[in-house]
Amino acid sequence: MSVSRERLREFRHQHKISFQWTKTWKEPNDPQWEAKLARIEHVTSHFPDRVFAFDEFGPLTIRRHLGSCWTEQGHPDRLPANYHKLHGVRQFHACCSIGDDTLWGIVRARKSADNPLAALKSIRRARPDGAPIYVILDNLSAHKGTQIRSWAARNNVELCFHPDVCVLGEPDRSALRALRTFVVAGSNHPNHTVATRALHKYLRWRNANARHPDVLADQRRARARVRSERQHRWGQPATRAA
């Protein structure tokens, strides 16, 4: 038995084989992958006070969400089955100011081209001086319509689309993950009205306490989780020298 183990050890060392978990990896297929990332890095480093991010957070459903809470020992809370979404779903259209570190948005009943345009207009109103602003957003088809592109050209707004399968190109994702931690996790709202009030209450507290230790810790965990999944800052697999 010891001989076979020794041979197996030599074989693993010779062929560089190790026992690993199977992972899913998405190879980027965007031909402008590097150019988009370079543009995002440029505007965030040179014009942070004029850079914004837009994203859609959802779907928001009315049910009991998984989370942590105080409860009697030996009697943990259980999540009931949720086969029917009687209240429907909602989407939170979030806008994030990179320089001011503020987050705002509105809850919508559905995704459409009109709602992202309304969010972009609210971002433009945050800098009413007419000078250029830069909005980082994903490649959803509703974000690339002719109406949005023509409005952006008329109002001196540059749309910086981040590359596909690269969540690190979205600066507002850590803020949205914190929203999921502090608002959604462990909640059991009776309807969307109550859930929306809780969401906006958190936004008011978060913007007034953007440097709170709990907020910063959750954002660090979110960024570390994404980087550990991608093994590299911009999502590329780690390469090792022979």
User: Comparing C-alpha atoms, which of 138, 136, 134 is closest to residue 166?
Assistant: 138
Per-residue pLDDT at 80: 66
Give the C-alpha distances (Å, rounded to integers) separating 236 from 41, 143, 165, 169: 16, 26, 10, 13
Compute the average pLDDT of residues 159-177: 68
**ω into 59 cis (within 30 of 0):** yes
Architecture of the domain spanning 29-61+87-230: 2-Layer Sandwich (3.30)
pTM, to two decimals: 0.73
Q: Which runs of consecutive H residues, i.e. helices, occur in 127-172?
A: 146-154
Per-residue pLDDT at 112: 78
User: Residue 133: which pLDDT band, with cuts at 50, 70 and 90?
Assistant: very high
pLDDT greater than 80 at residue 72 = no
Which is more confidently placed, 212 or 131? Answer: 131
Instruction: Decide if 107 contacts 138 (C-beta within 8 A).
Output: no
